Amino acid sequence: MRIFSGIQPTGRKHLGNYIGAVEQYVAGQQRGDGIYCIVDLHAITVPYDPAQLRRDVYDLAAVLLAAGIEPQRSILLRQSDVAEHTELQWLLMSSTAYGELTRMTQFKDKSAQHEFISAGLFGYPVLMAADILLYRTDQVPVGDDQRQHVELTRDVAQRFNARFGEVLVIPEGYYPPVGARIMDLQNPERKMSTTGGSPQGTVYVTDEPDVIIKKFRTAVTDSGREIRHHRDKPGVSNLLEILAAVRSSSVQELEREFDGVGYGDFKLAVGEAVAGYLAPVRERYAQLRADEPALERELERGAQRARGIASETMRAVREAMGVGRRAG
Ligand code: AQP
């Protein structure tokens, strides 16, 4: 089984990215062949600083390796190193409806945040579809916010196959059972986010343990006393999900364990658990990040392996679409 996912090199990665995505990449290595892609071409669809983008790619490569992506086992690559991603995006544009793209909630949210709305931002979901379909992916581990994009990828692939023949593999989304949508600690009605969150409500993978504990101690809960997962208790429910994810236990077990415990002690317990969970990652990250040439070598090795798979898919796609010289 082939597993593929992309992740943007934008700023520091937060606990939502880590639990909802990165942890799933590491676990995916037990189920199949993983391809994990640092999607720098997605990052340029909103205003950005070129020098910072290069640094962000290395930061993220170090986070992924520190988390447990094994480059001997999985492919870790930088999207822009494999030109087939953008070629396939263009070819898939003709199998994508304009109306579909206008309905993407991420496009609506992001375009409301910026004065200049790039055409790249509009085409973002097609590039994501190309990333996934290029590697004949079976499974895509992502957080809940990417559900709509994965569904679009499936629709585009099905439409392509119906028109040009059975060339593309139809992928399935894979959403973690707990932690698919980690919420902002200060505003538990909104997802923890790189751009839309509150500083105190966003826990970063590289935060110091005391900073993490402080963020949890000040997390918003409610005026009740019960530690229970319920729609009316978004703050407490979020904390229960976070703790379940980092301890690999279930929300129900935790409800029993914390029955009768006060919110203050509960928040401290979650903060300490998260700080302990991220501490080894932060330490390995610091070592790996210090050696940029080694990170670059890993990315180049990953790109070489990825190109082998990508070029085969592109041969089949071009042939089916009647584009370019006839194969063989
Ligand atoms: N709050 C979240 N809970 C669970 N999973 C999440 N993901 C993002 N937020 C949460 C998942 O992380 C992966 C990488 O997302 P990305 O490449 O979009 O990275 P980002 O832009 O830095 O993440 P954000 O926070 O989602 O940015 P904003 O909100 O600014 O657009 C994906 O699999 C995603 O589902």
Is it the case that residue 155 has pLDDT exceeding 70? Answer: yes
Q: Which of 40, 8, 11, 2 is nearest to 21 (CA)?
A: 8
CB of 52 closer than 6 angstroms to any ligand 1 atom: no
71, amino acid identity: P
The residue whose C-alpha atom lies closest to atom 8 belonging to ligand 1 is: 17
**What CA–CA distance (Å, rounded) separates 308 from 135?**
10
CB of 8 closer than 6 angstroms to any ligand 1 atom: yes
User: Tens digits of per-residue pLDDT, 242-300?
Assistant: 999 999 999 999 999 999 999 999 999 999 999 999 999 999 999 999 999 999 999 99
The residue whose C-alpha atom lies closest to atom 2 belonging to ligand 1 is: 16
**Predicted pLDDT of residue 68:** 98
Ligand 1 atom closest to the CA of 11, numbered from 1: 22
Q: If you measure from the C-alpha of residue 143 to the centroid of ligand 1, how many angstroms do you get, rounded to a whole number?
A: 7
CB of 289 closer than 6 angstroms to any ligand 1 atom: no
Judged by DSSP in three states, 2 sits in strand
Q: Which of 274, 307, 325, 254 is nearest to 134 (CA)?
A: 307
Confidence band for 328, pLDDT divided at 50, 70 and 90: low
Q: Which helix (H) or strand (E) holds 234?
A: helix 234-247
Q: Ligand 1 pocket test: which of 5, 8, 17 has the largest number of ligand atoms within 8 Å of its C-beta?
A: 17
**What CA–CA distance (Å, rounded) separates 215 from 278?**
14
**What CA–CA distance (Å, rounded) separates 37 from 131?**
8
**What CA–CA distance (Å, rounded) separates 222 from 201?**
15
**Predicted pLDDT of residue 196:** 83
Q: If you measure from the C-alpha of residue 56 to the centroid of ligand 1, how many angstroms do you get, rounded to a whole number?
A: 15
Ligand 1 atom closest to the CA of 191, numbered from 1: 1
User: Tens digits of per-residue pLDDT, 209-246?
Assistant: 999 999 999 999 999 999 999 999 999 999 999 999 99
Q: Which of 312, 317, 321, 296 is nearest to 81 (CA)?
A: 296
User: Tens digits of per-residue pLDDT, 39-67?
Assistant: 999 999 999 999 999 999 999 999 999 99
CB of 16 closer than 6 angstroms to any ligand 1 atom: yes
Task: Say what the pTM is.
Answer: 0.96
Q: Which of 138, 160, 144 is nearest to 21 (CA)?
A: 144
Judged by DSSP in three states, 6 sits in strand
Residue listed under structure tokens 């892609």: 37
Q: Which of 141, 72, 84 is nearest to 298 (CA)?
A: 72
Ligand 1 atom closest to the CA of 145, numbered from 1: 35
Whether the CB-CB separation of 53 and 79 falls below 8 Å is answered with: no
Torsion-angle region of residue 136: left (phi > 0), alpha (psi -120 to 50) or beta? left
Confidence band for 188, pLDDT divided at 50, 70 and 90: very high
Is it the case that residue 153 has pLDDT exceeding 70? Answer: yes
**What CA–CA distance (Å, rounded) separates 279 from 323?**
51
**What CA–CA distance (Å, rounded) separates 268 from 217?**
6
**Predicted pLDDT of residue 325:** 87
Confidence band for 312, pLDDT divided at 50, 70 and 90: very high
Is it the case that residue 194 has pLDDT exceeding 70? Answer: yes
**Predicted pLDDT of residue 93:** 98
**What CA–CA distance (Å, rounded) separates 172 from 177?**
15
Strand order in the sheet with 2-7: 75-78, 33-38, 2-7, 139-141, 172-174
CB of 182 closer than 6 angstroms to any ligand 1 atom: yes
Whether the CB-CB separation of 193 and 202 falls below 8 Å is answered with: yes
Is it the case that residue 11 has pLDDT exceeding 90? Answer: no
Q: If you measure from the C-alpha of residue 119 to the centroid of ligand 1, how many angstroms do you get, rounded to a whole number?
A: 21
Gyration radius of the chain's alpha carbons: 21
Whether the CB-CB separation of 138 and 172 falls below 8 Å is answered with: yes
Encoded tokens for 58? 């290395």
Q: If you measure from the C-alpha of residue 105 to the centroid of ligand 1, how many angstroms do you get, rounded to a whole number?
A: 14
